[in-house]
A and B are shown apart, each in its own frame.
Chain A
Amino acid sequence: MEKVLDAAKPVGAMLKGESEYDWATAEKSLKTFEKVAGKFGGLFPEGSDTGDTKATPAVWTDREGFDEALQDWADATAAALDAAPATLEEGKPVLGAVFAACKNCHDTYRIEDED
């Protein structure tokens, strides 16, 4: 999961306008997403809902929804890789969709840090 966040950073910086748009960098991040998205569901097997987890119980009680949210992420990533946008203008909607998938899944399936 840390790998995902590390990969998200350079793409986020481009979307935010902090760094120059560069498809090769974005592509590298998307490939990381592609790889992780396929395995992600396996990180939360039945019965792993106790102990040190940031997953909400919904990951296990609403497995279908969780899998669907992961699929959205994989689909958005695949679409962005397909589109291979050359400019920020073209990149914004497709990469934005990938980021929206992150946020959407966290909203339901990840708990907040509790101090």
Chain B
Amino acid sequence: MRRSSSRSELAFRLGIGAFGFLIVAIVCTIGVVLAVQSMASIRKFGLNFWLTRTWDPVAGQFGALPFIWGTLYSSLIALLIATPIALGIAVFISELCPPSLRQPFVFLTELLAAIPSIVYGLWGIFVLVPAVRTVERALPAAVRATPLFSGPPLGLGLLSAALVLAVMVVPFISSVSREVLKSVPAAQREAAYALGATRFEAIRAALFYARTGIVGAVMLGFGRALGETMAVTMVIGNNPRISLSLFAPQYTMAAVIANEFTEAADELYLSALVEIGLVLFIITLLVNSLSRLLIWSMNRTGRVITAPEPVHASA
């Protein structure tokens, strides 16, 4: 009797474990499959692929540096815009807002994450880009002479892409920061108030306490921005040139794959695009893992100090 029940227990565990294993297998297969498909390009160009800046498929020249640049530059500018706003939202919802309004505000900010990327792109092309163009034209000539704002004011370009990305990553950063702030023990804040701190000073203490998790939240947003495809493709101008200017049309790794993959006629061209995908996969994997590690270590230290919560009261 005992033996048969332990045998059925094992069968159950292995049976559903197999489905879990499938997820692990998919992730590994993605890496392997992309690596195999990019072999042709890796063999031909080696490291030069990532160090040269000429992307001319017709001449068979593939240098991916402009895409790395465009991806990192647009994502970093987007984070620069999104981080303060997302933290402000997290603090407002978790600390300042009346409890009855908390849920509606959470719902509204998270709707930003639910809107499909293609809709952001459509809105970007027909509403945001013309608006950005108007602003760019209105800038005084002295500002336009600086390298950051040089070039013709097209609207299509890095600034538009960064703005769209910023809107898209705000909900991710703010919802994780909110969770992280929640795990700061109440005693931290109470201690600050007891010492005569103002509300800002108490919240600053809480933010400082939660800094690891907040860095994790920002990294999570970074991972999202790096891989975002459609909205960026539609507004960044798709020009593989490295430029510091926010006005300049540039190109990202995800965008070049989306635009050129179905047109890539020869083996080497396809392989080069897959290699860009492989590196994008590896970068986002590293960024996301690091982000999760930070958030997780924060939660753990938070839990050690607070009283344990009853399991079913959370969420």
Task: Decide whether A and B assemble into one complex.
Answer: no
The interface of chain B, by Cβ under 8 A from chain A, is: none
